[in-house]
Structure 1
Amino acid sequence: MATAHDDVRTPTGAGGSDPAPPPEPENASVLVANDDGEYLLHLRDNLPGVWEPGAWSLLGGGREPGDRSLEETARRELWEEAGLVLPLLQRFRVELVTALDGATVPVQVFTARWNGDPDSLHLTEGVMLRWFAPEIMPRLRLSPSTLDLVRDHAAHRPAAPRSTVADAPVPPEAQRPAEGADRRGVPHVVGVHLYLENAQGEVLLGLRHPDCAFAGGRWHFLAGHGEQESAIACLVREAYEEAGLLIHPRDAELVHVVHLCDAPGSRPRLQLVFRVRRWAGDPVIREPDKCLTWRWWNPDALPEPIVAYTRTAVQRLREGHLYTETGWA
């Protein structure tokens, strides 16, 4: 049986032939669902010594000495394995799994809701993360207990919350897309960017690691993707996670928006730039796999290579503009 972890821990004193009831869980996993009724699965490495190698499973792992609760274990594992931060975890049930040594191990399963793009996450373990509908899962290499877990949750989960805002009547002409336009709704990616100036009027930029999926080897704002959180909450989190900077939400001011389409047919992006005039700490490298260095730059002499919309945003907001469109035909 399996939920998902490279490090399912056998509790002290537990053995495969021990007839006593299993002890309290020392492991946690998270059943993440989106509003379309799909579930997030993690494809594990197919390597010797990996528990359930090459199988799809849930994100999770064993409790560490510094974890104050199993919920904290679950949150730490989400962050360490996938860079995923979720605002609400709820206890679902305890699953019994079989560890590498054959012992039966209880795992506390939490549930969470997220509607993000798995490809936007920073995966540090396993091969990939993907959304799957429950009816597709029998085709996967998947533990029967994980499949039962998903089916049980799907059968009893509440409907996705609907907007409380009443639908306003829309004139018929407004319902028709422009001639030649794509008639499907296209979700936009929301990016959040931090604009800081020091006492000399210099702007803080980071040199992205060459292996980054986005903007490798180029200078860019401190930035991140909005998750299941507000834009300002994302800004506060990214500032600390990437550079050790402490900012207060009330000090964040939206100063520019870039509506970006990199290429025809690509996924559109809304890039929000927030200015913060007060913060605590000096920028340090906290994620060396993403950023090599932080430096302050004269806005009239920005470095190269630089992300194109970063340069545009700096120039436009200094000119007093609040909005820029780029890349659209």
Structure 2
Amino acid sequence: MKQEIRDFAAAILIDTAGCLLLQLRDEVPGIVHPGKIALFGGRREPAESPLECIVREVAEEIGYKGSAADFEFFVSLNGADPEKIAKRLCGEVFVARNIPSSDLLVSEGKLVAIHPTELDKFRAEMTPLTLVALEAFLGGSAPLT
């Protein structure tokens, strides 16, 4: 049975060279979207704000010890879950820039750095939610650096 609400926080991470830092998810049975490219982030803990969640998730997944001030709110995604993991999703996407990619220790999946001009080459490998967030971000007037 599908969960009712998917409550999450995710981040569009940009390194010092202007590349998007994404996660190539592990090929492990039982995880959502194995082998797909996704944003870093995850499920919110019960008493956690979305900002607290993304700071924790990014630290856990790639070892980036940024503070809440390093993450700027980008967009809320509320509505039907395009990935059909839950009936509805309720999440926030943040942006963090100038991440020193050479200092990261990835503990889940593999780090993928993609320059925005090469994004089309990877579309078929990305999760639906990642595509929605990146298209909104890159289609807007937000500069990468």
Structure number with higher relative contact order (C-alpha < 8 Å, ≥ 6 residues apart): 2
Deviation at 1:159, TM superposition (A): 6.5
Residue of structure 2 in register with 1:112 after alignment: 96
Q: In the alignment, which of 20, 42, 55 is matched to residue 75 of structure 1?
A: 55
Q: Over aligned residues, Cα RMSD in angstroms? A: 2.5
Partner Cα separation in structure 2 for residue 60 and residue 159 of structure 1: 19
Map 1:273-288 onto structure 2 (within 5 A).
none
The answer to whether structure 1 residue 86 and structure 2 residue 86 are counterparts is: no
Partner Cα separation in structure 2 for residue 39 and residue 106 of structure 1: 23
Q: TM-score, normalised by structure 1?
A: 0.37
Partner Cα separation in structure 2 for residue 143 and residue 51 of structure 1: 10
Deviation at 1:99, TM superposition (A): 4.7
Amino acid at match of 1:111: V
CA offset digits 1:142-199 (Å, max 9, x no partner):
1244234223323411363xxxxxxxxxxxxxxxxxxxxxxxxxxxxxxxxxxxxxxx
Count residues with an aligned counterpart: 136
Partner Cα separation in structure 2 for residue 123 and residue 40 of structure 1: 11
Amino acid at match of 1:134: P
Q: Which runs of 5+ in 2 are unaligned?
A: none
- Give the structure with the larger strand fraction: 2
Map 1:198-237 onto structure 2 (within 5 A).
none
The answer to whether structure 1 residue 149 and structure 2 residue 133 are counterparts is: yes
Q: Which runs of 5+ in 1 are unaligned?
A: 1-8, 15-22, 161-329
Looking at CA atoms only, which structure, 1 or 2, has the larger radius of gyration? Answer: 1
Map 1:156-235 onto structure 2 (within 5 A).
156-158=141-143, 160=145
* Identity among equivalent pairs (%): 28
Q: TM-score, normalised by structure 2?
A: 0.78
SS in 1 for 2:130: helix
Partner Cα separation in structure 1 for residue 35 and residue 27 of structure 2: 4
- Give the structure with the larger helix fraction: 2
Partner Cα separation in structure 1 for residue 45 and residue 142 of structure 2: 30
Q: In the alignment, which of 41, 48, 59 is matched to residue 22 of structure 2?
A: 41
CA offset digits 1:55-89 (Å, max 9, x no partner):
0111101111352x110011111111111122321
Residue of structure 1 in register with 2:105 after alignment: 122
